[in-house]
């Protein structure tokens, strides 16, 4: 319906036309224009979303083994004398692939106090099979860390490995 001074919207909202529009009416009209514009832009922008494929994040599981000679490895307690060499390695469970960073740390006693300077960071690429990783920067056996060299007193020690 159209008259000389009014436009009547089908929802019975009255907008006054031309110069006779009050300031508050202009403000309400501008507010509605802003709200509708925001809704329109929001709908348009939500339609343009690019998504990556699903990324499966898993933890690396495995077992720390110790040895006095790097030939025979065990998961049970190892008895050595002060000053004797001993070593550790990490046997990763099958399934994990890709690059992993392992943080090795020698700890002492029931409180597992960290031994200063007795730590190694290894960066290694897992193949999916049960990888064996040594406490060296590249995870290879050559130059495996002699943890016994860091034990300056008798006691109970462990090597922790954090993937």
Task: Give residue limits of the domains in the chain.
Answer: 6-46, 62-162
pLDDT of residue 29: 80
DSSP type of residue 148: G
Mean pLDDT over all residues of the chain? 85
pLDDT of 118 strictly over 80: yes
Tokens describing residue 70: 């790097």
pLDDT of residue 82: 97
CA 5 to chain centre: 64
Residue 126 backbone phi and psi in degrees, to 5 = -80, 140
Nearest CA to 62 out of 137, 147, 130, 135 is that of: 130
Q: Indicate whether this model's pTM tops 0.75.
A: no
DSSP type of residue 110: T
Note the pLDDT tens digit of each residue in 54-88. Answer: 887 778 899 999 999 999 999 999 999 999 999 99
Q: Note whether 60 and 126 are within 8 A (CB).
A: yes
pLDDT exceeding 90 applies to what percent of the chain?
A: 58
pLDDT of 137 strictly over 60: yes
| β-bridge mates for residue 123, sequence order | 101
Average of pLDDT values for 109-116? 94
CB atoms near residue 32 (< 10 Å): 12
């Amino acid at each position: 319906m159209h008259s000389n001074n009014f436009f009547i919207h089908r929802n019975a909202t009255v907008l006054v036309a031309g110069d006779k529009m009050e300031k508050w009416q202009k403000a309400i009209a501008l507010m509605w224009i802003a709200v509708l514009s925001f809704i329109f832009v929001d709908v348009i922008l939500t339609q343009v979303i690019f998504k990556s494929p699903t990324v499966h994040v898993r933890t690396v599981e495995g077992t720390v083994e110790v040895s006095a000679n790097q030939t025979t490895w065990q998961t049970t307690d190892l008895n050595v004398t002060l000053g004797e060499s001993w070593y550790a390695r990490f046997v990763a469970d099958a399934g994990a692939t890709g690059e992993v960073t392992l943080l090795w740390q020698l700890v002492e006693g029931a409180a597992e106090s960290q031994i200063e300077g007795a730590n190694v960071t290894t960066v290694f690429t897992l193949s999916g099979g049960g990888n064996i990783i040594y406490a060296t920067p590249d995870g290879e056996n050559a130059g495996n860390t002699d943890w016994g060299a860091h034990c300056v007193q008798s006691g109970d020690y462990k090597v922790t490995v954090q993937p």
